Structure 1
Amino acid sequence: MKPAFNERIAGALEYRRQHDLARESKILTSLDEACIEFEGSRYVNFSSNDYLGLGRDKQLLEAWQHGLSLYGCGSGASPLVTGYSSAHADLESALCDWLGFERAILFSSGFSANQALIFGLLEKGDLLVQDKLNHASLMEAGLLSAADMKRFRHNDVQHLSSFLGKASNTLVMTEGVFSMDGDTAPLVDIQSACLDRAWLAVDDAHGIGVLGSDGRGSCDEAGIRPEILVVTFGKAFGLSGAAILCSQECGDYLTQFAKHHVYSTTIPPSQAYVLTHAIGMIQTQNWRREKLAELQGVYQSKLSQVNGFVDTTTPIKPFILGDSERALTFSNYLKASGLWVAAIRPPTVATNSARLRVTLTANHTKEQVVNLSDAILENINKGY
């Protein structure tokens, strides 16, 4: 019997289309710091994770060009062969000095870093306890790892505690800022629950650069230091890649056993060079975080009394609409007004919680945020 891949593929795609869940990649052109172009039309982009507006910053562009002149385009090998350079070492050192850890290990993406951590650290008989709303990279790694995995109700420390003490090696994993809801984890209480019973690992992809003193992230904001911190460079850094920060001994262990690190070509040294430059900008350019706070205040003042508004202390502002069709329709109405806001649907979020995922960046103006808020209000008042 021939494999029935064609039938499976066709059925799965048709199901997605019929339930307004189909996804597609769109070819977009970035015009400036806050605007994009699609099929000849211009939009203000409220779906970017470039929270600090560094992605098109001229200073950062010049730093990358200089890195290219120094190191060339690629690294040419994995870090344990010939791919590791002084630029990579400098980036790791800058991360450790900034965030207060002994070791930093670089990866090409946050997805790779999260999977490398769980696959590399956990063995059969270990226990992984995750927040129910953790990122897909963490959930998939947990399901595929040799460890037992339990999920606790979102931000429910009491439920988390009920799983602890059942295995000698337990890893608790949470995000610092949750990407679809924009809320933050109760890190102080989670760390207290883990004390002497588990290691705590925090994925701070959406908190690093935005929260904390000089942008040190969610853990700094909460006044804690987990055993392991994962940071990614594709959001507030305006670039790409990721790092795991940990103790010297844990770093040595992951260097030996984290396959995503051992067997992947390392990020280009020019990229490591510009990332080190980005750290300096994040640390010193506090006006970017101040601008975000100002824009969040504008958005909240306009929409806080509207059904669907969710109050957050982060640049991620979900606007809950319920079913997928309504979210798509609402998103399209906003596009007609020149506003690009992605509709997020299941399975990315729970059934009946489809939403607009509004993200604010330091490149937006107050006028643009007011225009977005007014357009949302207008469509709500029309009954959409």
Structure 2
Amino acid sequence: MKFNFIAERLAQQTEHNRYRQRVTIEGVAGRTIRIDGNAYLNFSSNDYLGLSNHPEIQAALRDGASNYGVSASASSLVTGFNYAHQALEATIAEWLGRERVLLFNSGFAANQAVMHALGQQDVLLLLDKLSHASIIDGALASSATVKRFRHNDYLHLAKLCNNAPQQDKLIVSEGVFSMDGDEVNCHQLCEVATQANAMSYLDEAHSIGIKGDLGQGIATTEVDIVMATFGKALATNGAFVACSESLHEYLINFARHYIYSTAISPAIAWATKRSIELVQTEKWRREKLQSLTRLFKTSLNDDITLLPTTSSIHAINVQSETKALAVSEQLKQKGIWLTAIRPPTVPKGTSRLRVTICANHNDKDIKYLAKCLNEVLV
């Protein structure tokens, strides 16, 4: 048989309790999901603000499809860029106080595009150890030298910068880290960047919408480049890169993921514009997340340790893949959907339950989740 490694690798995944399978969600996913005819409270969603089924966003999607089309039908540099895209880019630029914005089909594509386009032979890419796979893959596929600094360790980062004083440098981190839920110290990161004459890049996929007074994320104006996705708190699809005028023009000319991809759906762009408007005006959603988070933390037994977080992500490290799967299954029997996160998504020995609290949950949901966790994590 050709490609024998396929069967071998799958067998290894099964042996190490890392085999992954898809499940089919029936109907509309939200606070609850239905799978195989059974309803579950959903604590594995990234719909942090509970906007995914918002009627005004749905109406904007319909209007966008009617006025601008479902498909862009071409790349942005051919005939795929229309008014819906332009309006969304302008909305984001004003929201974040940035010169220009460029739209991408996904956060994975956006991260890879920037790492690859800026990762020239004489460039040093400095990545936080817990950077997303898309950042790592994009950096390693580039021509740049790649080094990784210890997670949120800015002294280590400064040391790496000092060892390459004459090199162009890009420092890369995340606003909120997707698996631990902790966040960057933006001020310290930018201080190191300034001292090292480096550019800074922040992936705000898990902080856009839920951080900042208007949901604009963690990044200060000191950060040179911001990337964020639409598919989490903003409840649509796609991503953007916000940057300077000159970098915007550079990416249009040299970012292969942008040049050679059909532009995102105009209908989705129009719906995202409405979503961002709601994010800015409906501050109560962020306030509710904070209230539910406080309730969750105080409802857990003292012997259950959450990783430090100021976000909607609450990680409980159970260490082994076997235990993570077993606890996830026990919770399923109690009507809770909470996915076990295992290597290689997280480092070996740190398999976990990743609880995500969303604004469409209520106090009763949180108390029930905590009660069930208190029962199964013994």
Q: Same fold (TM over 0.5)?
A: yes
What is the Cα deviation at residue 308 of structure 1? 3.2
Distance 1:43 1:21 in 2: 23
Range with bigger deviation, 194-203 or 8-17: 194-203
How is 1:1-384 mapped onto 2 (pairs within 5 angstroms)?
4-5=2-3, 7-31=4-28, 33-165=30-162, 166=164, 167-197=166-196, 198-219=198-219, 223-303=220-300, 305-380=302-377, 383=378
- The answer to whether the 8 Å contact 1:34/1:363 transfers is yes
Distance 1:31 1:72 in 2: 23
What is the Cα deviation at residue 309 of structure 1? 2.1
What is the Cα deviation at residue 31 of structure 1? 4.2
1:148-187 deviation line (CA, Å, top 9, x unaligned): 0000010000111111141421000001100000000111
Distance 1:120 1:371 in 2: 47
Q: Classify the secondary structure of the residue corresponding to 1:243.
A: strand
What is the Cα deviation at residue 304 of structure 1? 6.5
Count how many residue pairs are aligned between Structure 1 and Structure 2: 375
Distance 1:129 1:234 in 2: 26
Range with bigger deviation, 177-186 or 62-71: 62-71
Q: Classify the secondary structure of the residue corresponding to 2:45.
A: coil
What is the Cα deviation at residue 121 of structure 1? 1.5
User: What letter matches 1:181 in structure 2?
Assistant: D
User: What letter matches 2:215 in structure 1?
Assistant: G
- The answer to whether the 8 Å contact 2:301/2:374 transfers is no
Does the C-alpha gap of structure 1 residues 224 and 252 become closer, same or farther in structure 2, counting only changes over 3 Å? closer
1:206-236 deviation line (CA, Å, top 9, x unaligned): 00000012101011xxx45311000110110
Distance 2:76 2:264 in 1: 9
Distance 2:289 2:252 in 1: 37
Distance 1:129 1:315 in 2: 27
Which runs of 5 or more residues in structure 2 are unaligned?
Answer: none
Distance 2:114 2:244 in 1: 13
User: What letter matches 1:202 in structure 2?
Assistant: L
User: What letter matches 2:234 in structure 1?
Assistant: F
Q: Classify the secondary structure of the residue corresponding to 2:305.
A: coil
Q: Classify the secondary structure of the residue corresponding to 1:130.
A: strand
1:91-121 deviation line (CA, Å, top 9, x unaligned): 0000000001111000000000000001112
- The answer to whether the 8 Å contact 1:318/1:356 transfers is yes
Distance 1:133 1:153 in 2: 8
Which runs of 5 or more residues in structure 1 are unaligned?
Answer: none
Distance 1:252 1:143 in 2: 24
- The answer to whether the 8 Å contact 2:56/2:274 transfers is no
User: What letter matches 1:189 in structure 2?
Assistant: Q
Distance 1:14 1:259 in 2: 36
Distance 1:100 1:78 in 2: 27
- The answer to whether the 8 Å contact 1:187/1:224 transfers is no
Paired-residue identity, %: 39
